[in-house]
Structure 1
């Protein structure tokens, strides 16, 4: 007797893939907690040597090392394990781009919001509204600092692609919802004559000040404190405006208002740089922007994600043209950055 209909010949690989993703996350967090990566950097490259160094169970170390190889965070070589470039840059506590704080945030406040997804869908009311000032001042300082290593290398590629180092005269940039100033710092590093105004809530600007000092560009920053809706911007005063992951928390209506305000502040021929997580036009992928849309539904009143076509429409309706998605290394045609020029 058949116990399932003939159409059941498709195995549940998509579902097991989701489950494996949960296992991978737990394995990575455990490896970070146990500081598995540091001994490898120091030359202990076998499971037995790492286990001895960290006083851990050798079999447990061996299986988690193999899992990290499967995640392409380690590679096998000469009977041992080596760090990949990604692991060396982002998973060593000694690295300036260590992502440990970001993972800690994801396991704490970030994870708590997702536990409420069913309740939020039932009620239609977000868990919190991080786009509102009273919530943002509690939520964003730690997150802004934790996000710096996640975005710095991409921001540096954007600065190179736009040839920021070739800007002449006294270029003036506005970094809107600057956070840690991660999207403008690489530009300031490459162009010594670039002046930057960083706009954000007062408590978040303290994070920006800390990072501009760390990267030695603090003398070229001014700080505009407050909600972008209330801060006055001088007309035709900026050669470059940077929107590093703000539109998704504002939503479509507020984003249109913001772009209209910025269009007036940009000089003719000036550029706007927008970083966003962009799904394709049919909302069938990539997976991360689609999941991020759920995250915005959970944590904002009107947040969303925009496709390239939607961003193009928003920009063109607000006086920008020559809209294009930057082709950046590593992103395989799916870079998170769109650039446009004011007419």
Structure 2
């Protein structure tokens, strides 16, 4: 069978571009790690200014800053470098849409991904699967990174998920509490409980203290793989199941079922795979990330998750018709 030379050349060039794509990622990660965007701030700076603040080589700094400009992450005018208007909203400390913490976490991921070959051969994670709990600085960065990403979707889900018939909700492994705060803001009669590990909840307390719903928010220290205390009208699990193995998830979902009142609902937001487990691309790639960072975690197909829910006793399973970043989806079931 003859091949189409034009198609092969196109595929060849796209594959070469894919191989080089890490150039762009590493520029972003390094710019954030060196705090380039905050060094430049609201005013423009010259290469000399930036190099002086970094105590770096001027020639290398200029090459680096020009590379950042090439990605449209900075602007350059009259040999001065400036943050873009959009960049000021996502790179400058204190902004609501700040992304710096998740980019720092991506740099941690970079280190683990450099050992992907080893993990594929051994079947073991590239770093200790401690859920970033062993080091307080790592815990803080991880939870703040989760806050960075949750901000993107929390305002959407809080409007789209119907909690009007719920008085209580438990946010299982709720991390920064971002979703809980938005659920409370959208539902004035809702009280939420955030269940997570002690180290995580130290940061959660700080974050929710800045909201006006602290009087309707309760924090419980605990491990959702061991026990879920109390009874609730709804349970929310955002990006939880991909961190666990199938056996642990089956047990967790049964635990959630037992913690819900009759008619209560389980709400699972995660990266769902298609039945072939090779698409969409992000959930398939994220499975590798879980190989690198967890004992047994991976992305799961919608059918797998539905099977666990039905086995636990949940009925009326519905996948929300909503478009979220990185092919995330939401599945809801009722007790």
* TM-score in terms of structure 2 length: 0.80
Contact kept? 2:143, 2:175, Cα under 8 Å: yes
Q: What SS does the corresponding residue of 1:338 show, helix, strand or coil?
A: strand
Distance in structure 2 (CA, Å) of the matches to 1:104 and 1:292: 17
Distance in structure 1 (CA, Å) of the matches to 2:221 and 2:67: 50
What CA RMSD, in Å, does the superposition of the two structures yield over aligned residues?
Answer: 3.3
Partner in structure 2 of residue 66 of structure 1 = 70
Q: CA deviation at 1:37?
A: 7.8
Distance in structure 2 (CA, Å) of the matches to 1:223 and 1:324: 29
Partner in structure 2 of residue 295 of structure 1 = 289
Cα separation, partners in 2 of 1:206 and 1:318, compared to 1, 3 Å:
same
Partner in structure 2 of residue 20 of structure 1 = 20
Q: CA deviation at 1:248?
A: 0.8
Contact kept? 1:179, 1:200, Cα under 8 Å: yes
Partner in structure 2 of residue 248 of structure 1 = 242
Partner in structure 2 of residue 143 of structure 1 = 142
Aligned: 1:280 with 2:280: no
Distance in structure 2 (CA, Å) of the matches to 1:342 and 1:6: 52
Distance in structure 1 (CA, Å) of the matches to 2:115 and 2:66: 36
Distance in structure 2 (CA, Å) of the matches to 1:14 and 1:158: 35
Aligned: 1:268 with 2:262: yes
Q: Which moved more, 1:199-208 or 1:55-64?
A: 55-64
Which blocks of at least 5 consecutive residues in structure 1 are unaligned? none
Of the three residues 303, 328, 335, the one matched with 1:309 is 303
Partner in structure 2 of residue 158 of structure 1 = 157
Within 5 Å, which residues of 2 pair with 1:25-104?
A: 25-32=25-32, 33=34, 35-36=36-37, 42=42, 54=50, 61-62=65-66, 64-68=68-72, 83=84, 85=86, 87-104=87-104
Contact kept? 1:199, 1:226, Cα under 8 Å: yes
Aligned: 1:336 with 2:328: yes
Distance in structure 2 (CA, Å) of the matches to 1:115 and 1:131: 19
Within 5 Å, which residues of 2 pair with 1:68-217?
A: 68=72, 83=84, 85=86, 87-108=87-108, 110-130=109-129, 136-138=133-135, 140-164=139-163, 167=164, 171-217=167-213
Aligned: 1:325 with 2:319: yes
Contact kept? 1:249, 1:302, Cα under 8 Å: yes
Partner in structure 1 of residue 55 of structure 2 = none
Contact kept? 2:271, 2:299, Cα under 8 Å: yes
Distance in structure 2 (CA, Å) of the matches to 1:284 and 1:23: 25
Deviation by residue 1:262-296 (Cα, 9 ceiling, x = unmatched): 11111222221212122222233222211211111
Deviation by residue 1:293-325 (Cα, 9 ceiling, x = unmatched): 111112212111112222222222222223233
How many equivalent pairs are there? 317
Contact kept? 1:201, 1:227, Cα under 8 Å: yes
Q: What SS does the corresponding residue of 1:184 show, helix, strand or coil?
A: helix
Deviation by residue 1:111-138 (Cα, 9 ceiling, x = unmatched): 2322222222222222345367xx6444
Deviation by residue 1:190-231 (Cα, 9 ceiling, x = unmatched): 223221111111111112111111223222222221212333
Distance in structure 2 (CA, Å) of the matches to 1:42 and 1:203: 35
Q: CA deviation at 1:186?
A: 0.9
* TM-score in terms of structure 1 length: 0.79
Distance in structure 2 (CA, Å) of the matches to 1:339 and 1:151: 17
Q: What SS does the corresponding residue of 1:204 show, helix, strand or coil?
A: helix
